[in-house]
Structure 1
Amino acid sequence: MEPDNKIARHVAIIMDGNGRWAKRKHLPRAMGHRKGVEAVRELVRSLKHTEIECLTLYAFSSENWKRPEDEVDDLMNLMRKFIKSDLPEFIANDVKLHILGDWRGLAPDIVAMLEDALEQTSGGSRTLAVALNYGAQAEIAAAARSAAEQGSITEEAIEANLYTAGLPPLDLLIRTSGEVRLSNFLLWQAAYAEMIFTEVLWPDFTFAHLQDALDQFAGRERRFGGR
């Protein structure tokens, strides 16, 4: 059976605008990040009302280490709290956690928490993929090296060695906050993905915004290079 090209099975989001949200409200950047986590929580809860099989979120890029140390520390602490508080909800809602990136390079306690979360959610039927310490160019280079070690470097071999191996092909990529670029995110996977760039800052992004993006996706004609 041919796939229904009107249904986005795999949606990825570049969650941008936490800092600007806080600045507009004359709040510390940390408050923007905390509000951003709340937006993630509400979106994950809403997945059961969609036909999305995999939601991929760009949480922390390999370039984000260049940010001020106190901001990075706050982001890591938010990650700890989120995993601890939301893991039972993931399990209850049949959500499987998947990590993209060099996440084993994070703090040992975070690595241990993620390993536990991956194990406890392994039976989930719907996937939340989180990009942590992730960069697409490094991902492609590593996949090419692995393909070379295994034999021929073909498109299929590279794809089989990406962090997204086993996930549905990327259908829709959304970026919030009005920025129009991919920022080293899912460069290979986005080759034929539909893209939507919205002015909405990430902390203000709701299920209604996601549904609007899904409706836009359903109205597009996907040719995959054909006519």
Structure 2
Amino acid sequence: MKLSELVTHTSDWVGVPRTVVESHARYLREAGLLTTGGRGLAASEMNDDDKVRLLISVCGTSVASDAAARLNDWLNCQSVEVVQSDAPFRFEFPTKSTLPSALIAFFKRDLQSAEMKAWKSGERFEKPRGAQFQATSDMLSLIFVIDSIRANINLQRVAVVDSKIEAKQTISNRFALTLDFSKPLPIGRKENYRAKAEFTCQLSEENLIGWSGCFDE
């Protein structure tokens, strides 16, 4: 897939105007953060790193002109919390220590795997003796908290018996910039304190499955 095709694909499945995605791509390319070379039919093919870098930039940067600096922050994010909820599944993304590697594992191996099909079908829930689950529901999401450089790849599902939630499972991998513990953390509320808003971008299952198609080309 060429960069121009990836820009259109990302715009379609993330819901961001193509002109905005194109601006992100231009700033990243100028900073040497995307593969470059050739034009038109001779243009370079985007590799796996290129694809997730553009996705991270579009979802994790509020202003395109900041794309290069913000992407470097995202690339330095480390896994800070893995949740598996005793769920007997072998997904690859929870084993990754960096956000790009976890995203590549999630999109290329986990999202369309037999494990994911079993997860979505409600298999492998621990059932109370004699109980029959009336329904199961699941949610897949990728969340970027833009201002504080945090991200979460998250799977959740619940099982319902007699209109009550009887079982819940979560598998997630949370990422953040490494904290510098040599600096004292602020304690207490300062005078004239105002809580700041956290700008987030959340991709749902439809977004994720649609965007993952770029790895098939």
* TM-score, normalised relative to structure 2: 0.27
Q: Which has the higher contact order (CA 8 A, sep 6+)?
A: 1
* TM-score, normalised relative to structure 1: 0.26
Between Structure 1 and Structure 2, the one with more strand by share is: 2
